[in-house]
Amino acid sequence: MAAKRIPAGSLTVLGLMCSLVAAAASPEAATFVPGSIPRDTGGNGVQAHDGGLLLEGGKYYWYGTSQKMAPSWLSEGVQLYSSPDLSSWTSHGMILPSSAVYGIPRPGPIRVERAKILHNHKTGTYVMLFHCNVADFAWPSLGVATASSIYGPFQFKQCSKPDGRDSYDLTAWQDDNGDGFLVHSVENSFVAVRRLSSDYTTPGPICARLPGDRGEAPAVFKVGSTYYIITSGMTGWLPNPTRMFKASSMCGSWVEIRQPAVGDGGQITFNSQPTFVFPYKQPNGAIVPIYMGDRWNYPPNGGVNTANYVWLPMTPAGNGDWDLTWHAQWRLGDFSRARKARKALM
């Protein structure tokens, strides 16, 4: 896939830059700069790729894989950071090292990717699901680990293939009623939805599949009574257009809607690949879905081992569609004021 020009300001100087450029007393005041790497409170760059965000007890937990290294782009495992305001990030270190994963019937180092954590409030357990594989992708499977605390350490349980089929990129998602779901790429042929067992550790049979063919890097969110899934195309570590789907239930009939990324750079999703959509709830109760993406490759000198992050707000576009547009920098508070202004004009 040929590199394309993306919006001015979207390419940052290589090295560690702060993606939250102003100290924030609350998330509303946090300033996001897509295409950069925040520093933690120790001055180190945050390394939490292809992961997600969990809100508990007024604190945000950002988790994901550590820096990926050549030649096979493997990480050392899953790391955790916390913040009271989406601005000041404290590192809690490695919560699942790749070296803790075992039992795969293939030689070579272990690949841990796309980790997602659900808190099972019935059991009190934190469950991590992840894409489990070896360096050459020869045994794609679903990994499971559990912990009694979000801070870990997570105890590895198993890597297995649901229904005996290859499992690649995934996300895990928890509905308002506590039901858990796995959304994953099956045999790199289609994206499927499965309901998880009551303890979130075992996927059931496929209950729905997205229309069309191949896709990866799924991310789920819900606004009101409508469910949405975003996926990327399959172009390796290179960016491509996102696809978006909606349904009235996770195991219902999914329909494809308009691609969300619009404007200059939208055809390559602003040089990023989705990993998560976090439904930020504003003080007025409105939801702003925050698109979280990884920028794996970017000109002129960026690569997988220097990947940074693209976090952008999603705004309703009418008819059930959503817009994902480029902002060189942005604040959640600006969207609260914009909503109030629109209501005043109505």
pLDDT digits (tens, 9 = 90+) for 184-194: 999 999 999 99
Record the tokens describing residue 246, joined without a space: 């909606």
Q: Which amino acid is at 322?
A: W
Q: Tell me the domain boundaries of the chain.
A: 106-305+313-327
Question: What is the chain's pLDDT, residue by residue, as a tens digit (346 residues)?
Answer: 333 334 434 433 333 334 433 455 689 999 999 999 999 999 999 999 999 999 999 999 999 999 999 999 999 999 999 999 999 999 999 999 999 999 999 988 999 999 999 999 999 999 999 999 999 999 999 999 999 999 999 999 999 999 999 999 999 999 999 999 999 999 999 999 999 999 999 999 999 999 998 999 999 999 999 999 999 999 999 999 999 999 999 999 999 999 999 999 999 999 999 999 999 999 888 899 999 999 998 877 788 999 999 999 999 998 889 999 999 999 999 986 555 433 433 3
Instruction: Please give the DSSP secondary-structure letter assigned to residue 154.
Output: P
Cross-strand bridge partners of residue 256: 245
Residue 287 and residue 289: Cα distance in Å, rounded?
Answer: 6
Record the tokens describing residue 254, joined without a space: 């999914």
Q: Which CATH superfamily is domain 106-305+313-327 in?
A: Glycosyl hydrolase domain; family 43 (2.115.10.20)
Q: Which residues of 21-59 are buried (b: 16+ CB within 10 A; e: fewer)?
A: eeebeebbbbbbbbbbbbbbeeeebbbbbbbbbbeeeee
Residues in Cβ contact with 318 at an 8 Å cutoff, skipping those fewer than 6 apart: none
Task: Give the model's pLDDT for residue 319.
Answer: 86
Which of 202, 167, 161 has its CA nearest to residue 181? Answer: 202
pTM for the structure as a whole = 0.91
Q: Would the CA dihedral through 116, 305, 191, 261 be positive or negative?
A: positive
Side by side, the strands of the sheet bearing 180-186 are: 167-174, 180-186, 190-196, 203-209
Pairing mode, strands 31-32 and 330-331: antiparallel
